[in-house]
């Protein structure tokens, strides 16, 4: 396209710029949000790295974690099995284990709570141990594994914290492999 004078050229440039600038605003008016798939964009509800987005609660009422360990650590190769992931529990013949639980209540004192553990294949065989949590203080306890007789080769160990009214406050499942 040839322009005969500078006025036509300038009008063409202004028309092109106005179209380019109005297009993104037009999409926003229709309710379309542009999402970036850039690998550095923070995922998981974060607005910026290290900051929670505004739709998440400022603090969690109860934070807890549990880790199950055998009483005696034996190399999986010596048991004739595979290397299991770090968060699994591997038990050989006759082995017993314990569960270490750490919890902190940010909301209130929970003085009459219990840690309860059971295997998915034997939900009626449970281990109980009391745990008292004072507000914003870390509480730790160790709970023995429930009876392992009759457990399937692969199972899940469920660990829960219950308050005095038998309401579940927290739960974690740990994969277990028996050899």
Q: Where are the domains of the chain?
A: 6-52, 62-178
Q: Identify the bridge partners of residue 101 per DSSP, sorted by sequence position.
A: 66, 141
pLDDT in tens, 109-118: 999 999 999 9
Distance, in Å, from the CA atom of 97 to the CA atom of 71, rounded to the nearest integer, reads 5
Query: Right CATH number for 62-178 from 2.60.40.10, 1.10.3720.10, 3.30.1490.190, 1.10.357.10?
Result: 2.60.40.10
Return the closest-CA partner of residue 112 out of 124, 128, 97, 99: 128
Q: What pTM was computed for the model? A: 0.65
**Tokens linked to 168:** 């579940």
Taking the CA of residue 73 as centre, how many other CA atoms within 13 Å lie in the half-sphere pointing to its CB?
A: 5
Q: What is the pLDDT of residue 35?
A: 53
Report which of residues 99 and 56 the model is more confident about: 99
Higher pLDDT, residue 40 or 129: 129
Across the chain, mean pLDDT equals: 81
d(C-alpha 147, C-alpha 119), whole Å: 9
Quick: pLDDT tens for 13-58. 778 877 777 665 555 555 555 555 555 555 545 555 555 444 445 4
């Amino acid at each position: 396209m040839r322009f005969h004078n500078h006025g036509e050229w300038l009008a063409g440039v202004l028309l092109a710029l106005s179209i380019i600038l109005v297009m993104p605003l037009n999409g926003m008016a229709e309710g379309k949000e542009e999402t970036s798939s850039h690998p550095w964009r923070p995922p998981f509800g974060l607005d910026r790295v290290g900051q929670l987005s505004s739709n998440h609660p400022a603090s969690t009422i109860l934070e807890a974690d549990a880790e199950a360990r055998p009483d005696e650590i034996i190399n999986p190769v010596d048991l004739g099995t595979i290397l299991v992931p770090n968060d699994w529990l591997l038990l050989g013949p006759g082995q017993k284990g314990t569960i270490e639980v750490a919890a902190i209540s940010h909301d209130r004192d929970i003085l009459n709570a219990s840690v309860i553990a059971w295997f998915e294949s034997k939900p009626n065989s449970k281990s109980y141990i009391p745990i008292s949590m004072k507000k914003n203080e870390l509480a730790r306890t160790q709970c023995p594994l429930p009876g392992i007789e009759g457990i399937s080769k692969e199972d899940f160990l469920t660990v829960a914290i219950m308050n005095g009214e038998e309401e579940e406050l927290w739960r974690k499942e740990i994969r277990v492999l028996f050899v």
